[in-house]
Structure 1
Amino acid sequence: MSKSGSFSQPPWLLEDEIPQECKNLLSTLPKEKGWCEPHLYQYQGFWRPAWLFSNALACQKHYQAQNTDILLVTAPKSGTTWLKSLAFTILNRKLYPPTHNHHPLLTKNPHELVPFLELNIDFENNKPPPMPNNNVDRRLYSTHFSYVSLPNSAKSSACKLIYICRDPKDAFISLWHFSNKRRTPEMGTISLEEAFELFCRGVSLGGPFWDHVVGYWQESLKAPDKILFLKYEEMIEQPNIHIKRIADFMGCPFSAEELEASSGNIVDEIAHLCSFNNLTSLEVNKNGISSAGGLRFDIFFRRGITQDWKNYLTPDMVDRIDRLTAEKFQGSELKL
């Protein structure tokens, strides 16, 4: 048994256990050493591991977005777990008030409540991901897909996308820690220096990081009613303002009664329920294990702060990544 749970081998290590069609495709693609997977493969300009290819291709081919769907989109380690908890709670607040003693977030990890499009999908039988404890009128999914890899129906339909980005220095540090937690004892750790070199070259899960961000930023400028572009650092500074923005964008704005209720401001209640301190204190997030890959839920929570990179990166590293960011974002008017 591995440290990942009941799996004899974590799924991200099993390159041979994928359909032959995917193996044939992978054999034609550029590949690099992965951070915790054996390899990463470049497809449609971005890097992903072998174990995700089958579901990702099926999703691109078969996912039929509904006009009422909401997709939460992130580059890995950019605030995905927090965004899921917020969106789920906002959308389902009539069914599950945030102060309710039996709120789903108290016993289920956000990744269980908002499924990834790329994981656990039975597209062969034309079945979308299950929607546990979710609003029956709106489907809420998440994805790490880059914009170019997003299923066509998600682009052409009226479904809404909420994208959150993060300072690349913090995203890198979080991804490095996350990857080392997914490596087996036999693999040892990947050094900060090795991971940094790969990240700067764009070879990271869902990378290049900058291309992922710029792709959605540019599309959000073209279609602000379809794509809400958020920044992690701004959300940390003013969570209540952004909770209202998310609610407005999803088409379920807070009423005056909700905001002025004598029992308490619902925005404050949602902010507290979904806060890092509250989520990390819950038993499910301290000791629970995901059914998708056997990951412990606690690895999705580390510090939940900004500028943690200052504790790890050398001045030369900071200079290199800042220059890369300026180069990649040049002409986009995007600043992180």
Structure 2
Amino acid sequence: MAQVHSGIKESSSTNDPSESSNTEADLVARLPTREGWSTPLTLHNQCWLRSHMLGKFMAVRDNFRPRGDDIILATHPKSGTTWLKALAFSIFNRSRCSLDNDNHPLLTTTPQKVVPFIGAVGGDLDYLETLPSPRLLSTHLPLSLLPPAVSTLGCRVVYLCREPKDAFVSRWHFENKIGKGGPIGLEDAFDMFCQGCSAFGPFWEHYLQYWKESSARPREVLFLRYEELVSDPLEVVRKLASFLGVPLTQEEEDGGVAQQVVSFCSFDSLRNLDANKAGGVERAGGKVFIQFSSLFRKGKVGDWANHMSKEMAEKMDRLVEDKFKGSGLVF
């Protein structure tokens, strides 16, 4: 079964913080960098990455060692990452972490910690090597920045995407919550998002890379939509259980296990847990503080209509139609 752990382990790639800082500063200086979001972004291999994380993310493709039985949860930011982590962890570990157990890890630890991000704080590459197989991991990186062995070894990947207008509005709110340099205007954020300049963007390239991978490896790459989770979470739980290699038994179906998972991992249930209401992590040398509570806003489909003008929505729709034309991926 997947690992059960709750601690965040800091990166051990260097014993000298100043050396690491200088190296990343050198990298940023050599590549296109833009301000505008809560932290500066640097363009690497056609993907915008947070500048303070550039070195760690660049190292993933060369130094992360996938295993054939790895399960990777991949998302573009603000597309239901926390929800997917909670669902996958609960489903995959249910044989030894009963959902009615008062000591279940998700009752005391945020989903962001129990499923570590590849290459990020809490999921540095040395630490990932210590985890037993099969590993349940996560990433915001596009497929092009992961090692080719993810595909050649047949690693299973669950990709969750979200309607771009809702993803953008959620991103805008999130960036304004975590940044300490003042709020980002909606129109400025919208322009950058449409230009492809957002963390792990352009969003269309991110979606398309995993969409094409799901077509090439349909038995090993499960492509989901956030809207599916909202409209039919029971079916998604069953689909995930089967894909993860731990399908629900008839006894579990009769016992309502799928309903139990949906209830346990619901947006309101997760948001109201103490582990997700208190605490957080500091980033970018103290310029950003991510409160765990900021990972839960509304989770509603169509909330973009409460923020974006008709003109903005039409522009985004035209962009999406153009970028995904001919791919078979539609919104």
Give the alignment's TM-score, normalised by structure 2.
0.89
**3-state DSSP class of the match of 1:221?**
helix
TM alignment of 1:251-330, pairs within 5 A? 251-261=245-255, 265-290=256-281, 295-330=290-325
Q: Determine which of 218, 234, 246 is the counterpart of 1:224.
A: 218
**3-state DSSP class of the match of 2:173?**
helix
Alpha-carbon offset, residue 34 of structure 1 = 3.5
> Hey, what does 1:3 align to over in structure 2?
none
Query: Are 1:170 and 2:166 an aligned pair?
Result: yes
**3-state DSSP class of the match of 1:42?**
strand
Q: Note closer, same or farther for the CA distance 1:18–1:40 as it changes in structure 2 (3 Å cut).
A: farther
Give 1:300's aligned amino acid.
L
Cα deviation per residue 1:104-136 (whole Å; 9 max; x = unaligned)?
11111000100100212444xx442765xxxx5
Q: Structure 2 CA distance, aligned partners of 1:326 and 1:66?
A: 36
Query: Are 1:248 and 2:242 an aligned pair?
Result: yes
Q: Any conservation in 1 of the 2:179–2:289 contact (CA below 8 Å)?
A: no
**3-state DSSP class of the match of 2:160?**
strand
Q: Structure 2 CA distance, aligned partners of 1:130 and 1:194?
A: 43
Cα deviation per residue 1:54-85 (whole Å; 9 max; x = unaligned)?
21122222111111110000001011000000
Q: Structure 1 CA distance, aligned partners of 2:35 and 2:129?
A: 30
**3-state DSSP class of the match of 2:144?**
coil
State how many pairs are aligned: 309
Give 1:206's aligned amino acid.
F
Q: Relative to structure 2, which stretch is displaced further, 151-160 or 175-184?
A: 151-160
Q: Any conservation in 2 of the 1:19–1:54 contact (CA below 8 Å)?
A: no
> Hey, what does 1:331 align to over in structure 2?
326
Q: Structure 2 CA distance, aligned partners of 1:36 and 1:129?
A: 31
Q: Structure 2 CA distance, aligned partners of 1:85 and 1:129?
A: 22
Cα deviation per residue 1:225-257 (whole Å; 9 max; x = unaligned)?
121000000121000101111111111111111
**Percent identical across equivalent pairs?**
38
Alpha-carbon offset, residue 222 of structure 1 = 1.0
Query: Are 1:40 and 2:34 an aligned pair?
Result: no
Which stretches in structure 1 are left out of the alignment for 5+ residues?
Answer: 1-15
Q: Structure 1 CA distance, aligned partners of 2:41 and 2:124?
A: 24
Q: Note closer, same or farther for the CA distance 1:321–1:122 as it changes in structure 2 (3 Å cut).
A: closer
> Hey, what does 1:7 align to over in structure 2?
none
Which stretches in structure 2 are left out of the alignment for 5+ residues?
Answer: 1-17
Alpha-carbon offset, residue 266 of structure 1 = 0.4
Give 1:168's aligned amino acid.
P
TM alignment of 1:68-87, pairs within 5 A? 68-87=69-88
Give 1:106's aligned amino acid.
L
Cα deviation per residue 1:186-207 (whole Å; 9 max; x = unaligned)?
x210100110010010100111
Q: Determine which of 181, 184, 188 is the counterpart of 1:190.
A: 184
**3-state DSSP class of the match of 1:27?**
helix
- TM-align CA RMSD: 1.8
User: What stretches of structure 1 move > 6 A for 4+ residues in a row?
Assistant: none
Q: Structure 2 CA distance, aligned partners of 1:291 and 1:129?
A: 24
Cα deviation per residue 1:23-81 (whole Å; 9 max; x = unaligned)?
333223222214011x2111111101111112112222211111111000000101100
Give 2:110's aligned amino acid.
N
Alpha-carbon offset, residue 154 of structure 1 = 1.6
Query: Are 1:139 and 2:150 an aligned pair?
Result: no
Q: Structure 2 CA distance, aligned partners of 1:99 and 1:274?
A: 12
Give 1:233's aligned amino acid.
E
**3-state DSSP class of the match of 1:162?**
strand
Give the alignment's TM-score, normalised by structure 1.
0.88
> Hey, what does 1:4 align to over in structure 2?
none
